[in-house]
């Protein structure tokens, strides 16, 4: 158990809908990272938040957004969903901000868009 | 473009049969290489970080090594519980730091 929690575990929705994925980092970790994992592309970095502020942006679509709250939990919002958004979404946390060190991953949310 | 390539894509071993997994990379300025283990349906689990060529790290039956262009994960006398996908990632700086992951090697160890 990494100490990172994610909810829900599974999510099934329809095209065009909007969903919110939630992540709670390990105690003491200030950084939260979001990743998308699909069968053909592997783990792709989406976005990083550090202590409530956006720190780095990767391959995140404009239809997706995230935020980190004062209690350091984070939410990833996915809107206008398309079939291709079906994937595993992982959240990871680490102590560091600028220096990307060991990241500890949650169990993931499996999103299925029908 | 920063790239990480892992080989083989899949590997089947008999229990006790040692082997190595490869991670090669082309990045502009390596700032760390990470190995993770991922079990089906679960999040990646951190194994090692390597920072400079010549560095080695060990954990139980696993040993990771790093050269200037690649890393190896050596598995000595594997057991069925070592079956998993092993992911390699490099830390790169493109204005900000991020991890670039390879697509992994699926390892199956048969009893």
| Confidence check: pLDDT of A39 > 70 | yes
Cα–Cα dist B47/A4, whole Å:
16
Those residues whose C-beta lies under 8 Å from the C-beta of residue B20, and which sit 6 or more positions away, are B72, B73, B74, B75
Q: In whole numbers, what is the pLDDT of chain B averaged over residues?
A: 93
Query: Which chain B residue is nearest to residue A4, measuring alpha carbons?
Result: B43
The closest of B46, B34, B87 to A105, measured between CA atoms, is: B46
- Residues of chain B contacting residue A42, judged by C-beta atoms under 8 Å apart: 87, 101-104
What pLDDT, on the 0 to 100 scale, is given for residue A99?
66
**What order do you get walking across the sheet with A64-68 strand by strand?**
A5-7, A19-24, A74-78, A64-68
Contact flag A107-B42 (C-beta cutoff 8 Å): yes
- Residues of chain A contacting residue B2, judged by C-beta atoms under 8 Å apart: none
Pairing label, strands A19-24, A10-13? unpaired
Mean pLDDT in residue range B63-92: 95
Those residues whose C-beta lies under 8 Å from the C-beta of residue A75, and which sit 6 or more positions away, are A20, A21, A22, A23, A66, A67, A69
| Confidence check: pLDDT of B80 > 90 | yes
What pLDDT, on the 0 to 100 scale, is given for residue A97?
62
What pLDDT, on the 0 to 100 scale, is given for residue A47?
95
Query: Which chain B residue is nearest to residue A42, measuring alpha carbons?
Result: B103
Higher confidence at residue A66 or residue B97?
Answer: A66
Contact flag B43-A103 (C-beta cutoff 8 Å): no
Mean pLDDT in residue range A10-23: 98
Among B4, B43, B99, pick the best mutation site for testing chain A contact (most A Cβ within 10 A): B43
What pLDDT, on the 0 to 100 scale, is given for residue A98?
63
- Residues of chain B contacting residue A101, judged by C-beta atoms under 8 Å apart: 32, 49
Mean pLDDT in residue range A80-90: 96
Backbone angles phi, psi at B80, to 5 degrees: -55, -35
- Chain A residues touching chain B at CB-CB below 8 Å: 2, 4, 41-45, 48, 55-58, 90, 92, 98-108, 110
Cα–Cα dist B106/A42, whole Å:
12
Contact flag A107-B46 (C-beta cutoff 8 Å): no
Mean pLDDT in residue range B82-102: 89
Measure in Å the smallest separation between the Cα of B99 and chain A Cα atoms: 7
What pLDDT, on the 0 to 100 scale, is given for residue B44?
95
| Confidence check: pLDDT of A11 > 80 | yes
Q: How many CB atoms lie within 10 A of CB B67?
A: 12
What pLDDT, on the 0 to 100 scale, is given for residue A2?
86
Predicted confidence (pLDDT) per residue in B23-76, tens digit: 999 887 778 999 999 999 899 999 999 988 999 999 999 999 999 889 999 999
**The dihedral sign for the CA sequence B82, A1, A75, A54:** negative
- The shortest CB-CB distance from A102 to any of B43, B49, B100 is to B49
């Amino acid at each position: 158990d990494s100490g990172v929690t994610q909810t829900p575990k599974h999510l099934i929705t329809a095209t065009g809908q909007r969903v919110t994925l939630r992540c709670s980092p390990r105690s003491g970790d200030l950084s939260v990272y979001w990743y998308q994992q699909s069968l053909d592309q592997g783990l792709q970095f989406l976005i990083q938040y550090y202590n409530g502020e956006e720190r780095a942006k990767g391959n995140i679509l404009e239809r997706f957004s995230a935020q980190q709250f004062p209690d350091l939990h984070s939410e990833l919002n996915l809107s206008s969903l398309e079939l291709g958004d079906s994937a595993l979404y992982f959240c990871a946390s680490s102590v560091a901000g600028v220096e990307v060190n060991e990241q500890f991953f949650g169990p993931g949310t499996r999103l299925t868009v029908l | 473009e920063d790239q990480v390539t892992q080989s083989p894509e899949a590997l089947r071993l008999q229990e006790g049969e040692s082997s190595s997994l490869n991670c090669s990379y082309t990045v502009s300025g390596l700032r760390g290489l990470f190995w993770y283990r991922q079990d089906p349906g679960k999040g990646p689990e951190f194994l090692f970080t390597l920072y400079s060529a010549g560095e080695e790290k060990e954990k139980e039956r696993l040993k990771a090594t790093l050269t200037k262009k690649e890393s190896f994960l050596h598995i000595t006398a594997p057991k069925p519980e070592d079956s998993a996908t092993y992911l390699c990632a490099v830390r790169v700086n493109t204005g900000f730091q991020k991890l670039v992951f390879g697509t992994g090697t699926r390892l199956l160890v048969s009893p």
